């Protein structure tokens, strides 16, 4: 009875259900979706390979508590499709994939659980390469390395590697700079007010970059200790997680989970620009249209938050060197400028222009 109740609840909650088990509306279907479980460790994982047109599917592993398995499936499909667009826009030689692990109520042995996940990744024989995402750490990736070679985001002695979150934050930071220059005519961020929704690994690094550039910060996080730390270290103004999206600011930077921009939240937004690190910020494509109609410039997440995947991709290929990677991530700002030029020329919304631009790159080499 409980299982049936959960299923009924999921089926009445639109964001919890994939419209198709093969993919999302208006996108190519997923090439492969693997369900992996291991009773001994409690592993329940979904590995979604959206596209290998540009190369092996590359994307992180999320470790999260979901309301039900359908919600986890929907998240995996949305995230992996987003990775195809992100990797294409970043001109990386990789396709898009993502994994989600449903966080057990009780974790018996985290190392053993990620070892089991590593074996699942290895079973795909290189079709999918994993790395950190929400809820996973460099320690998890290091443990998996014993069971699969298809893992990145690992500290490597004497060479580039490790936690990609600072690179993700840097990409968002330079995108905010580019957006503020184009939209507000400002040469720098001094005095620009930015609302940060979420102070996790990426959000915190972004706050550091913004504070150093002279921006005024408004912050919210479910962890009150992080908020207090931001107030002390950055002079940030704290608001509740229910108020942050509607804050009276110049820039809104969603850095928590996805689908925060939806039919309920968008009418309350006061920011002129939305540019953040969270994946899949729009609940639906039409929400990007609504932002545009309201005169809010949305810089799509799969364009601006590519710094992390650039970092782990270069590490995986053995091409990484700190300053070179930072320089490559900084070029995201140029793509933001190009996107806004394309928007001006076409009259289409940033979300739709970025989507079409990315899909034009999702082609297999001749």
Domain chopping of the chain, boundaries: 2-144, 165-360
**Going by DSSP bridges, is the β-strand pair 216-220/237-238 parallel, antiparallel, or unpaired?**
parallel
Q: What is the pLDDT of residue 14?
A: 40
Q: 2-144 and 165-360: same fold?
A: yes
Indicate the Cα dihedral angle 332, 195, 78, 51, nearest 10°.
Answer: 10
Report yes or no: 54 and 108 within 8 Å, Cβ to Cβ: no
Q: Within 13 Å of residue 206, how many CA atoms lie on the same side as its CB? A: 37
pLDDT (0 to 100) of residue 364? 80
Catalytic positions are 98
By the 8 A CB rule, do 197 and 255 touch? yes
Q: How many CB atoms lie within 10 A of CB 41?
A: 19
Predicted model pTM? 0.89
Using DSSP's 3-state secondary structure scheme, residue 72 falls into helix
Tell me the C-alpha distance between 173 and 158, whole Å.
28
**2-11 vs 69-89: helix crossing angle, rounded to 10:** 40
In three-state secondary structure terms, 222 is coil
Please provide the DSSP assignment of 18-34 as one string: -SBTTB-TTSPPPSEEE
Measured distance CA(272)–CA(269) in Å, rounded:
9
Q: How far apart are CA 94 and CA 153, in angstroms?
A: 16
Dist. CA 55–CA 333, nearest whole Å: 25
Beta strands (DSSP E) in the chain are: 32-38, 43-51, 57-58, 61-64, 95-102, 128-129, 193-197, 216-220, 237-238, 251-254, 273-274, 297-298
Q: What is the architecture of the domain spanning 2-144?
A: 3-Layer(aba) Sandwich (3.40)
Per-residue confidence (pLDDT) for residue 159, from 0 to 100: 63
Residue 4 CB coordination number (10 Å): 8
Whether the Cβ atoms of residue 336 and residue 179 lie closer than 8 Å to each other: yes
pLDDT score, position 320 = 74
Please list the pLDDT of the chain residue by residue as tens digits (366 residues). Answer: 333 333 333 333 344 555 566 666 666 789 999 999 999 999 999 999 999 999 999 999 999 999 999 999 989 999 999 999 999 999 999 999 999 999 999 999 999 999 999 999 999 999 999 999 989 999 999 999 999 999 999 877 666 778 899 999 999 999 999 999 999 999 999 999 999 999 999 999 999 999 999 999 999 999 999 999 999 999 999 999 999 999 999 999 999 987 899 999 999 999 999 999 999 999 888 999 999 999 999 999 999 999 999 999 999 998 878 899 999 999 999 999 999 999 999 999 999 999 999 999 998 876
Domain 165-360 sits in CATH at 3.40.50.720
The gap between the terminal CA atoms of the chain, to the nearest Å, is 53
> Within 10 Å of residue 185's Cβ, how many Cβ atoms?
7
pLDDT at position 7, please? 31
Please report the pLDDT score of residue 9 as a whole number. Answer: 35
User: Do 127 and 57 meet the contact criterion of CB atoms below 8 Å apart?
Assistant: yes
How many residues appear in the chain? Answer: 366
């Amino acid at each position: 009875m409980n299982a049936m109740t959960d299923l009924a609840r999921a089926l009445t909650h639109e964001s919890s259900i994939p419209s198709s088990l093969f993919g999302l509306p208006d996108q190519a279907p997923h090439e492969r979706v693997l369900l992996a479980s291991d009773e001994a460790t409690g592993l329940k994982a979904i590995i979604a390979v959206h596209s290998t047109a540009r190369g092996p599917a590359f994307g992180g592993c999320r470790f999260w508590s979901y309301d039900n398995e359908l919600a986890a499936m929907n998240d995996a499909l949305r995230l992996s499709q987003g990775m195809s667009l992100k990797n294409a826009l970043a001109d990386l030689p990789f396709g898009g994939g993502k994994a989600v692990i449903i966080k057990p109520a009780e974790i018996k042995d985290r190392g053993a659980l990620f070892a089991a996940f590593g074996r699942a990744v290895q079973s795909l024989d290189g079709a999918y390469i994993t790395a950190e995402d929400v809820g996973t750490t460099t320690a998890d990736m290091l443990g998996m390395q014993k069971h699969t070679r298809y893992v990145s985001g690992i500290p490597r002695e004497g060479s580039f590697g490790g936690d990609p979150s600072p690179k993700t934050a840097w990409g968002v930071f330079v995108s905010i700079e580019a957006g503020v220059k184009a939209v507000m005519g400002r040469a720098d961020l001094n005095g620009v007010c930015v609302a940060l929704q979420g102070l996790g690994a990426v959000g915190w690094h972004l706050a550091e970059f913004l504070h150093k550039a002279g921006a005024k910060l408004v912050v919210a996080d479910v962890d009150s200790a992080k908020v207090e730390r931001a107030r002390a270290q950055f002079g940030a103004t704290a608001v509740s997680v229910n108020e942050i999206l509607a804050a009276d600011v110049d820039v809104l930077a969603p850095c928590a989970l996805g689908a925060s921009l939806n039919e309920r939240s968008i009418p309350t937004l006061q920011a002129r620009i939305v540019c953040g690190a969270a994946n899949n910020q729009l609940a639906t494509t039409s929400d990007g249209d609504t932002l545009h109609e309201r005169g809010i410039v949305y810089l799509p997440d799969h364009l601006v938050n590519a710094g992390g995947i650039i970092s782990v991709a270069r590490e995986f290929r053995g091409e990484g060197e700190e300053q070179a990677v930072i320089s490559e991530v900084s070029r995201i700002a140029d793509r933001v400028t190009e996107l806004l030029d394309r928007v001006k020329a076409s009259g289409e919304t940033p979300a739709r222009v970025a989507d079409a631009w990315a899909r034009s790159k999702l082609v297999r080499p001749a």
